[in-house]
Amino acid sequence: MDITTLGGQLLGIIPLGDIVLYVTTFNLFMFAAALVFTVLIAMSKTEKQVEAEFGTLNDREKKVGKDEFKVRRFLSIICGLATAGAMITGDLFNFTLFVTLIGIVNIGIVSAVKEVDVLDSAFQYGIIAMLATLPLFGGAALILAATGTLSMFEIVNIPSTAMMIFGSILLFIGVAGESGVAPFFATKAEMFRTAGSPFLVIIHLSSLLVIVRAIEVILLISKPF
Amino acid sequence: MKLGRLWNSLATPKRIPKVFSIILAVVLLAGFVVPLTYDVHQVYLKPAPQAQVNDQDPFAPYNRGGSPLEEPATYISQYPQFAQHQGMITSYLSPIAIGVSETTLYFGTSILASPGGVIDEILYFSRGFDTILESSIMLMASVIATWVALHFTMRRKEEED
């Protein structure tokens, strides 16, 4: 199982010292999708939520204030860029750093709202994101110890050992915690119950893209087939 | 217990950190039976433990030799062809670091010298992109904390009135 089997044609590499980003057809598509979506979010405005109040003729409007809008847009752009970076990185430690950046920015995007339930679930998500850094970095460290390298180009050529497979399992638990896939979805699902849809959608998109990329990384490391 | 009830209990955000930590604990315990493998040809090699301490080196265990911009420090790089000037800034020390290292023998092991501290051993040059990402994670955390502190989002009661 090598890079071209999973990602298609290798279109090029971007060397930054030891950290070599690589672009295959598959990675390029996800990278471009993340970037296009980030641009769309940077240009768009948030929606307003209007609820009819029970028993009166009044409406209750939930709006995103200007300050809140600015910080959430900024954090969304960072989140989009981090997602795009995680798609093309060819270094394991670099990947974990991108995933951690996405995690902390996701908390930031909802921390600006003023709804108690949303903030409570964001707090719970923050606890998971903190816990998840242990398996995330621990998995990368185990793979570094077992292979002596962090570059995916080199790891692909090394036959997998039990410790590498254990490291990739830890890595997956870390990514699952940071991105909030099942069975840890409840905190993230509750975080969406607020106004400001484009910013909330980037949380969702970053989780989806990161989990796809994480599966590719894990297949490259553990080589099950 | 019925499966449906189990799924319902997973839909409570408060329980999720507990579920996550239990799964993590089980996997970590299973890790004790995994046979250890260690590749001796490590890229980011460190000197033998205590070797630099015994030499009375104030930078132990982080000393990599060399002097900034003149003589490269010694370490193995994964792709030497992508970083021709590798090791040239690894031994850079700020004036504070030089001052502290002249007063004590334990500079390298003090909290002052922890990664991101004064000694900055993470300035490997060949892994410079990681340094940028690490500090941007810190920056984002402080952006969020500052915003929350400045806008008093914790004052929920007053906002509702």
The burial of A6, by beta-carbon neighbours within 10 Å (0-12 exposed, 13-18 middle, 19 or more buried), is given as: middle
Rounded to the nearest integer, the mean pLDDT of chain B is: 79
Whether residue B3 is contained in a domain is answered as: no
Q: Which residue has the higher pLDDT, A27 or B71?
A: A27
Reported confidence tier of residue B87, pLDDT bands at 50, 70, 90: confident
Please indicate, yes or no, whether residues B151 and B138 belong to a single structural domain of this protein: yes
Reported confidence tier of residue B124, pLDDT bands at 50, 70, 90: low
Whether residue B14 is contained in a domain is answered as: no
Domain boundary assignment for chain A: 3-222
CA atoms within 13 A on the CB side of A42: 12
Please indicate, yes or no, whether residues B60 and B87 belong to a single structural domain of this protein: yes
Residues of chain B positioned with their CB less than 8 A from the CB of A67: 151
Residue of A140, A122, A125, A128 whose CA lies nearest to B21: A128
Please indicate, yes or no, whether residues B153 and B93 belong to a single structural domain of this protein: no
Whether residue B161 is contained in a domain is answered as: yes
A122 close to A191: Cβ distance less than 8 angstroms: yes
Mean pLDDT of A99-121: 88
Q: Which among B39, B43, B78 has the least Cβ separation from residue A146?
A: B39
Q: Which residue has the higher pLDDT, B8 or A81?
A: A81
* Number of domain units in chain B: 2
Cβ separation of B133 and A101 shorter than 8 Å?
yes
**CA distance readout (Å), A218 to A210, A221, B127:** 12, 5, 22
Whether residue B25 is contained in a domain is answered as: no
* Percent of chain B residues topping a pLDDT of 90: 16
User: Is any Cβ of chain A less than 8 angstroms from the Cβ of B103?
Assistant: no
Query: What pLDDT sits at residue B118?
Result: 57
pLDDT tens for residues A6-58? 888 899 999 888 889 999 999 999 999 999 999 999 998 887 778 888 888 88
Please indicate, yes or no, whether residues B121 and B141 belong to a single structural domain of this protein: no
Query: What pLDDT sits at residue B157?
Result: 59
3-state secondary structure A165-180: HHHHHHHHHHHHHHHC
Please indicate, yes or no, whether residues B84 and B61 belong to a single structural domain of this protein: yes
Q: Which among B11, B27, B77 has the least Cβ separation from residue A170?
A: B27
Whether residue B120 is contained in a domain is answered as: yes
| ipTM for the complex shown | 0.87
Please indicate, yes or no, whether residues B122 and B80 belong to a single structural domain of this protein: yes
Q: Scanning every residue of chain B, which has its alpha carbon at the shortest distance from the alpha carbon of A131?
A: B21
Query: What pLDDT sits at residue B116?
Result: 56
Whether residue B21 is contained in a domain is answered as: no
Mean pLDDT of B18-42: 91
Q: Which of residues 22-51 of B touch A (CB under 8 A)?
A: 23-24, 27-28, 30-31, 34-44
Helix (H) and strand (E) counts in chain B:
6, 0
Rounded to the nearest integer, the mean pLDDT of chain A is: 89
Whether residue B81 is contained in a domain is answered as: yes
Reported confidence tier of residue A169, pLDDT bands at 50, 70, 90: very high
Whether residue B154 is contained in a domain is answered as: yes
Q: Which among B34, B78, B128 has the least Cβ separation from residue A151?
A: B78
What is the radius of gyration, based on Cα positions, of chain B?
Answer: 24
Domain that holds residue B118: 51-126
Q: Which residue has the higher pLDDT, B90 or B118?
A: B90
Residue B146 has pLDDT above 60, yes or no: yes
Please indicate, yes or no, whether residues B117 and B142 belong to a single structural domain of this protein: no
Query: What pLDDT sits at residue B150?
Result: 85
How far away is chain B from the Cα of A9, in angstroms, using its nearest Cα?
22
Mean pLDDT of A195-204: 85
Between vectors from CA B27 to CA B23 and to CA B33, what angle results, nearest 5°? 160
Q: Which among B126, B133, B153 has the least Cβ separation from residue A94?
A: B133
